Each structure stands twice: as C-alpha cells, then as structure tokens.
Amino acid sequence: MPEPYEIDGITPSRVECPASVEDLSAALRTVHADAGTAVIWGGGSRMHVGNKIARYDVAVDMTGLDRIVDYRPPDLVVVAEAGMTLAALQAELGKNNQRLPFDVQSPEHATIGGSLASNAVGPLRGRYGGIRDLVIGMSVVQADGTMTKSGGSVVKNVSGYDMARLHIGALGTLGAIATVAFKIGPIPHTMRTVASWFDSAESAAVAGMRITNGSFMPEAVTLVAGPRAAKHASELSAQDSSKASENAVMLLVALAAGPATVERQVNDTTSILGSAMADGFVVLEDNAQFGVWSLAGEGNPPPPTFSVRSTVKPTEAFNLAGALAGPADSDSRDVHVVAQIGFGTVEAHWRGDVSPELVRSAQSAIRNAGGAWMIERCPIDLKSELDVFGDLGASLAVMRRMKQQFDPTGTLSPGRFAGRI
Amino acid sequence: MPEKSALVRDLERVVEPTHVVWRPEDLLVYEYDGSIDRNTPNAVVVPANAEQVSETIKIARKRGVPVVPRGAGTGLSGGAISMEGAVVLALTRLNKVLEIDKENRVAIVEPGVVNLELGQALAPYGLQYVPDPSSQAACTIGGNVGENAGGPHCLAYGVTTNHVLGMEVVLADGSITWLGGESREVPGYDLRGVFIGSEGTLGVVTKVAVRLVPVPEAIRTMVAAFSSVEAASETVADIVASGVIPGAVEMIDRLCIEAVEPAFHPGYPEDAQAILLVEVDGLHETVAEQAELVEQLCHKHGTTDWRTAEDEEERETLWASRKKALGALGRLAPNYYLIDGVIPPTRLPETMSKINALSDELEIPIANVLHAGDGNLHPCILFDSRDPEQVEKALIAGGRILEMCVEVGGALSGEHGIGLEKQGYLPLVFTDEDLEAMARLKPAFGAAGMFNPGKIFPTDELRTGVPHAAIMQRLTADVVI
C-alpha cells in the first residue's frame, strides 16, 4: 500500500489542507517564502503521471476546495472549486438535467483540478473535444501565492491572453488551479451503445472510420483491444450465439440525442457494422450499457505497471492500437488498449514485468504511427532513465522559459514536467 | 522626395523591392484596419514564405524595430495597426491551401488564406471549417488565429481555438517551430492554446492545421419578427435555457432592419422592432425536433411573423442580411463604432433596454446586431468621424456599454480582441496581478518588445486617465473641419 500523498516512493514532510482560495494562497506563499517545494494534490488518481519529482516537501490537498461558486443553468455556465470531484459536480448539474460533457475513469475520486492538470481522457472527447475545450475561465494561485484569473464566465471571451490553456496538462507545475468556469450542456434525452466485435483492429478500422466520419455524429467511438476486450466480446457473443475470435477487438459506439435521432443513429451504425463484416454486435440500453464502457478505463486494481498514451491521426489509431495490442501469440498479452477514434488518442496499459524490449516496441509503434508519446505509468527506475514526455523538439525551449517565468524558484513539483522542468 | 531608410534597404534584400512598401502615400493603405483607429507603419513587407518572414524578423530585431503581423486588416480592435514605428508583415501572399486530409478531417493552410475561400475549397469534400466571422469573405485564417475569431456558428461549435490543432510559427529569434501539430493533442504545455488569440504579440503564424467537420445533412433557417427587442431577447434566453443548442441565434434591431431591408430585400415585416435568425443543423431527425421547439418558443413570446427559409437561395439572402449588415449601416451614417461586449444570455432583455436608454440619453443612434445565443453583443454606434464631438460621444457610449457588460458578469470582447480599442478597459475585469501574469507570456516566447507593441495591455496613462483618451487623440489629430 502506498503511503498517503506518496509520489514515486517519496512522501512529503507536511500536508496542507486549504479550505478556501485564500488559504491556498497563504499555504503557497509560506512554502515559497521557506524555499520549499509543493505538490498540488487532487483526488490522487493520476499522480503517477510525470517525471520523477526532484524534491517534495509539502502536499497541498485540494479536496477542501469542493464548492460550486456560481451555477447559472439557463446560461449554460458553472464555476466550481478545483477540489470538487467530477462526480459531485455532475450530480449538481444533473439536478437541472445538465452535464459537463467530459468523462474520466473514476469520477468519484478525480477532482476537477486534477483532471485538468493531468489532462485526463474519456470517451466523450471525440465529440466534445478535450476538457480544455470546455473551460471558459480559470483562477490560479501562482507559485508565490499570488491569486490571478483569466477568461470569465461567459461562453465566448477573448479579453486578454487565454491563460487557462497553460495550466491544462501542466501537472500543477506553473500554478495551482483554484476555480474553473465551464461551458456545460444538456443531458441527452436518449442514449444507446452499440457494442461490436471484430477479429482484429485492422478489420475494425473500416467500420470504425465510417462510423466516426458518418454524418450521424456519434457521441463516442472507442476501440478496445487485448484479453479483457476479447473476454467481453466472447461473453456478449454467447448471448446471441454469434462468433467471437480469441483475439477479438471491440468497437463501442455511444449514440445520444433525441429519441428519433438515436433510433436513426442506431440503424445507421448497425448497417455499417453489417456491411463491414463485424463478427457480431449488440445494442445496449439503459444501465446495461455501462458495463461495457468500463472497458474504456485501465481496469481494476492492481494498476498497470506500464501505460503509454499518444494522440495520432484517426486513420492511424487503428494500426497503432493493433500494434500495441501485439501479436496474438505474444507473451506480452497482458495488455489493454483503448483508442478514442475521433480524437485519435490511443492508450495502452500493461501489467507484469516491464522489459526494455516492451518499452522499445511501444515507442517504435507510436513513432511509426506518426505520434508523440507520453508514458503515464512506469516503474520508478525507468523514470530515472528517460523523459516520460518523450522528445518535444524545439518547443521545449519555450516551455523551459515558461516555467522560468511562472515558477522561477521551482516551488511547484520541480522536475515533474517535460525536460524535467 | 522621400528617401529609403537603411531598414528598407535591408528589407529589400529579403523580398523583391516591389514587396516592400515604404513611400508615405503607399503606406496610407496600411494605416487602417476595420476599427476606427489608425496609425502609419514604418514600412510594410509582403513575404512569400516562412523563411522570408523569419529573415524580416531577424532584420527588424537587429535594428530594434518591432513587427506587426497583418492579414486582411478586417479586425475591429486595432490589432493590425502599427504602433511604435513597427514594420508590418502583410501575410496575404501566403495564401495556399496546402493539404486537405478528408479521412482525418484536417487541412493545412497558409495564414493568408481567406476564411470563405477555405470553405469553398472544402465544399467538394463535404467538409467545413466552422468559425465563420461576418467578415469571412475577406478575413484570413491567420488573422482568425490571432484574434481567436468567432462568428454566428460558434454557439454550438466553439470559436477558433476549438478548431485549430496547431500552427507553424516564427518566433522573435527568427526560429520556425510548430506549436501543437496535425493531431489533436501533443504532450507538454499547451503553447498552441495560449498563442491563439494573442493578437499577434507573441510571434507570426506561417501555417495552420485546422480541424474540419462534416457539412450537416440538414439545416433549417428560421426567421421570427418581434414587436420589441425585449420580447426577442426573452425568446433567446428561453431557447438557450431549453437545452436546444442551435447552430446560430442572431438578432438585429429596428435600425439595422432599416439599413438591410433596402440593401438585401430579406422581406422583414415593416413594423418589426427586432428580428431573430435561428438556424438548427444536424441530422434530419434532430433538426425536426429542434425546429419545432424553437418555433414554439418564438410563438410563446408573441412573434408577429414566422417563416422558414424555403430554399438555399432564401437562406443565403437571410444570412447576407445578417453578415453584411455592417456594410449596410453606411446608408445611415458615415461611420460606425462596433462594440463586442459579451453578457450572460439571461441578461439580454435588461441589457438591450439599457443600451436603448443610453442611445436616447447621449442622443447618438445605436444599431444592434448580435450573436444573441451566446450573449455576444454588437451594438454599432453611428457617427461621423469628421465631427470630433460625435467621435467623443461614440467613444463614451462604447465605454458605457462595456461597463454594462462587466456589471452583469460579462466580458469586454467576445471575438474581436482588445487591441488598441479596449486596453483602457481591461482593468475593469483584471487586476494588476492578472495582467502581470499575462505579460509574462511575452518573455516566455522570447517576444518581449518584438511583436505588435502597444496592444492589449493598458499603458499607465490609460490606467489612470480616460480609457479612450489615446484613441480620441489619434482620431482627431488630423481632422479637417
């Protein structure tokens, strides 16, 4: 069991639990004045992301900042504190039949700030974009405790630089996200999932691209490959006595809109699946569809030992997913691959020993697909050997200057970001 | 006879001499953009490629002269106006659509490509680039990136930043680098995201990778007339609150109707005080569901005339009346000053009333044309720039409207940017600390003092004095009465 607030085997000497933005500011001011270092801690579900931290004195636990600051349902805007969990936020919005069209693996733990800072991924990103596309304003406490804001709480705003972008995916290395304003939308009236299975990622590609590029605007198109996907396909195929190969990959399509639209979308999807020779498919309704979407996560504990993520062109996503899932007879088959086709994000999670060969082959598969890679999970000793952000080229120089500008003393998670900045 | 400066001679070694503009009479063309402001540039360079952009920047840097990137000059906040003796880089020759990837829905274009021409190039593929500013027949994609441009269809689909995947940019040291890329995400800080909407202050864009979406299979454009602006505003607030997110919800008021009716003959009822243009798009089934709800809401608020565009020709006429409304205002007054404030849609009814009251109080006509669905107001203050009294009144009215927007929790600009026009008002929404944090982006990009100086950030004079004083001074300096 890891110690509370542990990152890569390091535990802090102190934990701060601010209950307000002012508290957060005071906490960081103190750390800064003491020439200490701090990690901004949300739900703790994605603290494995990033390079090995160079020094870690204080954990700033954000979960006390868990309130809705402003919620105006008719204006489609909500402003919430960063320590609020996504589940709590969605529950509030759900009371007005609204939602933030963004999903993560464990919304009951994942906080708003943590999901933004670690740029978390969910199946809805194909249709609605990444979470960065839903943010319209943000307040941030700088490394020295200064409180700043940008954007606002209207859906369209170009007043001043779009500073919020800088903190999305920054792992809290440029400031602590304090409050966030989101553009929200209605919960669709009807939702269905069409779950299909194919004998390989290659054979799923034709159907997958036609569905993704279809005019009928699916809510999500996700490909899952690996033993978990094959097992699930086998269970579903048993229900209607269709076939599912031992190495089946699954294509999950979510459709959400008004009832007439969804009926049409289901028909269009299943007709494409029929002509693209899917080995089988089922149309799931209501709660029956949620089980299959659990495949879009990294799976039950224990967590994977090695996880990579890359965003490539959608046409490359199938090849990449196939390559990462590996040949059927490979002994590295304890792998689970999830690809959000419309967005092009492919994640692969392995369990078991992490051999240099595995690392090399994953890297080369991603390179062949024209993608940049990011290692999200790996053993600590590997983090000492390589930069988990990969090679960022010339833009790394700008990123270094950015860190220098916003956290010159290296107060916030030193070493964790790209280039160990 | 004016003489070429050493700078101009240097620049003529980078591009052919015909592509360096330096004679005072030639520079007049580059004094303006779409705003009411003006100032003369030092010189203008019209490069043919990124390397020439880079060389121009290196020369300017060596000589301590700043650089202002310019697209079509349709911007409305003074973003393309050269200050502090800057050289203008006019990117209009970088005008090629380099690649259209139909399967992956990405196009790579040069910054001088005109927004509408990109749309035309994409049409055969059944794809579109969504942001469609009203100036789309002239404005360029590079300018759109600089200003994070919007347009009527941003309500459902988002603004430029949501549709640009990456850009090749030239930084202050002349280096050429990509921010973002052709895929929808790259690891590291989102430099692409902070660069978009930075109003040409961080670098010069030389290629843009844009995200494309399919042309919707069905579109329905509806027009509803109302006997008051308030009734139309309440309808908009109800539509947004209902959960239907139409492709566009636009409004024009009585004064605008008077200008567009004789120009485009859209056939609006004579007694209408406000017209709503609502467009729903998507699948046939969705369009049918949403159009029905929109129609019900319009009737609930007492629409006096309701119709749906029968065919593409009628749809185009209706959109022309909206997108070209600003040009038609020339029928009413020699000049207009267009304000770009944003408010929460639920505050539309009261804010529109206040703007009308302001027009009465200052005795200056204000025509309203707005992206009503997302609360993006575009009050057009009508005046004659030859009359300093009217100029000042227009500037005062503009400031008062921006204050109204901020009071109800809105923003200073929805899509036009801050530029020279609104820098004096920035302290209404941002503290010194907020602005100081923003200012750090310039050194982070290595751009301190190099690009588009004198924009966005308020000068000390503007912070303490009258927000529109500097513009007033520039505008009235050479007025011939």
Q: Would you tell me how many other CB atoms lie within 10 Å of the CB of residue B28?
A: 11
- CATH assignment of the domain containing A240: 3.40.462.20
- CATH assignment of the domain containing A165: 3.30.465.10
Q: Does the pLDDT value for residue A38 go beyond 50?
A: yes
Write down the ipTM of this complex.
Answer: 0.96
**Domains, chain B:** 6-90 (3.30.43.10), 97-214 (3.30.465.10), 218-407 (3.40.462.10)
Q: Are A324 and A365 spatial neighbours (Cβ–Cβ below 8 Å)?
A: yes
Among B383, B272, B389, B400, which residue's Cα sits nearest to residue B330? Answer: B383
Both A129 and A62 in a single domain?
Answer: yes
- Best of B184, B212, B213, B425 to substitute, by most chain A Cβ atoms within 10 angstroms, is B184
- A149 to chain B, closest Cα gap in Å: 6
Q: Does A404 touch chain B (CB under 8 A)?
A: yes
Residues A255-283: tens digit of each pLDDT: 999 999 999 999 999 999 999 989 999 99
Digit-by-digit pLDDT tens for chain B (481 residues) are: 678 999 999 999 999 999 999 999 999 999 999 998 999 999 999 999 999 999 999 999 999 999 999 999 999 999 999 999 999 999 999 999 999 999 999 999 999 999 999 999 999 999 999 999 999 999 999 999 999 999 888 888 899 999 999 999 999 999 999 999 999 899 999 999 999 999 999 999 999 999 999 999 999 999 999 999 999 999 999 998 888 889 999 999 999 999 999 999 999 988 899 999 999 999 999 999 999 999 999 999 999 999 999 999 999 988 988 888 888 999 999 999 999 999 999 999 999 999 999 999 999 999 999 999 999 999 999 999 999 999 999 999 999 999 999 999 999 999 999 999 999 999 999 999 999 999 999 999 999 989 999 999 998 888 888 888 888 888 777 544 3
The DSSP element (H or E) to which A385 belongs, if any, is helix A380-385
- Distance of alpha carbon A197 from alpha carbon A238, whole angstroms: 12
pLDDT of residue B130: 95
Find the closest chain A residue to B159 by CA distance.
Answer: A156
Among B10, B87, B93, which residue's Cα sits nearest to residue B50? Answer: B93
Both A284 and A296 in a single domain?
Answer: yes
Both A253 and A277 in a single domain?
Answer: yes
> What b/e sequence results for B3-19 when a residue is b if at least 16 CB atoms lie within 10 Å of its CB, and e otherwise?
eeeebbebbbebbeeeb
User: Residue A16 belongs to what domain range?
Assistant: 1-187+391-421
Q: Does the pLDDT value for residue A361 go beyond 70?
A: yes
CB contact under 8 A, A158 and B190: no
pLDDT of residue B462: 82
pLDDT of residue A342: 87
pLDDT of residue B437: 98
Task: Please tell me which of the candidates A140, A156, A371 has its beta carbon nearest to residue B376.
Answer: A156
Task: Please tell me which of the candidates A98, A168, A372 has its beta carbon nearest to residue B187.
Answer: A372
Assign 3-class secondary structure to chain B: CCCCCHHHHHHCCCCCHHHEECCHHHHHHHCECCCCCECCCCEEECCCCHHHHHHHHHHHHHCCCCEEEECCCCCCCCCCCCCCCCEEEECCCCCCEEEEECCCCEEEECCCCEHHHHHHHHHHHCEECCCCCCCCCCCEHHHHHHHCCCCCCHHHHCCHHHCEEEEEEECCCCCEEEEECCCCCCCCCCHHHHHCCCCCCCCEEEEEEEECEECCCEEEEEEEEECCHHHHHHHHHHHHHCCCCCCEEEEEEHHHHHHHHHHHCCCCCCCCCEEEEEEEEECHHHHHHHHHHHHHHHHHCCCCEEEECCCHHHHHHHHHHHHCHHHHHHHCCCEEEECCCECCHHHHHHHHHHHHHHHHHHCCCEEEEEEHHHCECCEEEEECCCCHHHHHHHHHHHHHHHHHHHHCCCECCCCCCCCCCCHHHHHHCCCHHHHHHHHCHHHHCCCCCCECCCCCCCCHHHHHCCCCHHHHHHHHCCCCC
- A358 to chain B, closest Cα gap in Å: 21
Task: Please tell me which of the candidates A72, A133, A402 has its beta carbon nearest to residue B189.
Answer: A402
CB contact under 8 A, A165 and B190: yes
Q: Does B456 touch chain A (CB under 8 A)?
A: yes
pTM: 0.96
Residue B42: both structure tokens together: 């030092």
Q: Does B411 touch chain A (CB under 8 A)?
A: yes
- B4 to chain A, closest Cα gap in Å: 36
Name the A residues in 231-290 with CB < 8 Å from any B CB. Answer: 257-258, 260-261, 263-265
Place of tokens 């890679």: A373
Residues A161-198: tens digit of each pLDDT: 999 999 999 999 999 999 999 999 999 999 999 999 99
Interstrand relation of B67-70 and B87-90 (parallel, antiparallel or unpaired): parallel
Both A116 and A31 in a single domain?
Answer: yes
pLDDT of residue A1: 60
Both A416 and A337 in a single domain?
Answer: no
Place of tokens 């239907």: B244
Q: Does A399 touch chain B (CB under 8 A)?
A: yes
Q: Are B80 and B33 spatial neighbours (Cβ–Cβ below 8 Å)?
A: yes
Find the closest chain B residue to A313 by CA distance.
Answer: B183
Name the B residues in 166-185 with CB < 8 Å from any A CB. Answer: 171, 175, 177-179, 181-185
Task: Please tell me which of the candidates A161, A257, A389 has its beta carbon nearest to residue B438.
Answer: A161
Both A384 and A395 in a single domain?
Answer: no
Place of tokens 């990456």: B166
- Give first-to-last CA distance, chain A, whole Å: 29
Q: Would you tell me how many other CB atoms lie within 10 Å of the CB of residue A144?
A: 17
Number of domains within chain A: 2
Both A59 and A13 in a single domain?
Answer: yes
Q: Does B293 touch chain A (CB under 8 A)?
A: no
Interstrand relation of A58-61 and A38-41 (parallel, antiparallel or unpaired): parallel
- Distance of alpha carbon B200 from alpha carbon B198, whole angstroms: 6
CB contact under 8 A, B197 and A158: yes
Both A129 and A67 in a single domain?
Answer: yes
- Distance of alpha carbon A182 from alpha carbon B28, whole angstroms: 44
Both A121 and A259 in a single domain?
Answer: no
Contacts of residue B372, Cβ cutoff 8 Å, sequence gap at least 6:
B232, B233, B236, B249, B250, B251, B276, B345, B348
Q: Does A161 touch chain B (CB under 8 A)?
A: yes
Adjacent-strand bridge partners of A251: A196, A223
- Distance of alpha carbon A247 from alpha carbon A200, whole angstroms: 7
- B289 to chain A, closest Cα gap in Å: 8
Find the closest chain A residue to B436 by CA distance.
Answer: A148
pLDDT of residue B365: 97
Among B357, B319, B461, B345, which residue's Cα sits nearest to residue B405? Answer: B345
Q: What's the angle, vertex CA B92, arms to CA B87 and CA B96, rounded to 5?
A: 140
CB contact under 8 A, B410 and A154: yes
Interstrand relation of A14-16 and A58-61 (parallel, antiparallel or unpaired): parallel
Find the closest chain B residue to A264 by CA distance.
Answer: B285
pLDDT of residue B480: 41
- Distance of alpha carbon A41 from alpha carbon A114, whole angstroms: 7
Contact list in B for residue A407 (CB cut-off 8 A) is none
- Distance of alpha carbon B224 from alpha carbon B226, whole angstroms: 7
The DSSP element (H or E) to which A346 belongs, if any, is strand A345-350
- Distance of alpha carbon A174 from alpha carbon A172, whole angstroms: 6
CB contact under 8 A, A147 and B183: no
Contact list in B for residue A217 (CB cut-off 8 A) is 282-283
Q: Is A194 helix (H, G, I), strand (E, B) or coil?
A: strand
- Give first-to-last CA distance, chain B, whole Å: 28
- Distance of alpha carbon A73 from alpha carbon A190, whole angstroms: 20
Name the A residues in 179-238 with CB < 8 Å from any B CB. Answer: 185-186, 209, 213, 215-217
pLDDT of residue A217: 87
Contacts of residue B124, Cβ cutoff 8 Å, sequence gap at least 6:
none
pLDDT of residue B469: 84
Both A383 and A276 in a single domain?
Answer: yes
- Distance of alpha carbon A410 from alpha carbon B478, whole angstroms: 52
Q: Residue A328: which pLDDT band, with cuts at 50, 70 and 90?
A: low
Q: Would you tell me how many other CB atoms lie within 10 Å of the CB of residue A282?
A: 18
pLDDT of residue B153: 87
Q: Does B345 touch chain A (CB under 8 A)?
A: yes
- Distance of alpha carbon B74 from alpha carbon B52, whole angstroms: 24
- Distance of alpha carbon B266 from alpha carbon B248, whole angstroms: 18
Q: Is the dihedral of CA A72, A73, A76, A77 positive or negative?
A: positive
Q: Does the pLDDT value for residue A416 go beyond 80?
A: yes
- Distance of alpha carbon A333 from alpha carbon A413, whole angstroms: 35
Peptide bond preceding A302: is omega within 30 degrees of 0, i.e. cis? yes
Contact list in A for residue B344 (CB cut-off 8 A) is 72, 75, 77, 153-154
To the nearest 10 degrees (0 to 180), the angle between helices A356-368 and A314-325 is: 160
pLDDT of residue A331: 56
Mean residue pLDDT of chain B comes to 94
Both A347 and A295 in a single domain?
Answer: yes
pLDDT of residue B274: 96
The DSSP element (H or E) to which A21 belongs, if any, is helix A21-33
CB contact under 8 A, B190 and A395: no
Both A281 and A180 in a single domain?
Answer: no
* Torsion angle of the four alpha carbons B225, B226, B230, B233, in this order, in degrees rounded to the nearest 10: -30
Name the A residues in 106-145 with CB < 8 Å from any B CB. Answer: 119, 129-130, 132-133, 140, 142
Residue B236: both structure tokens together: 């908009």
CB contact under 8 A, B187 and A209: no
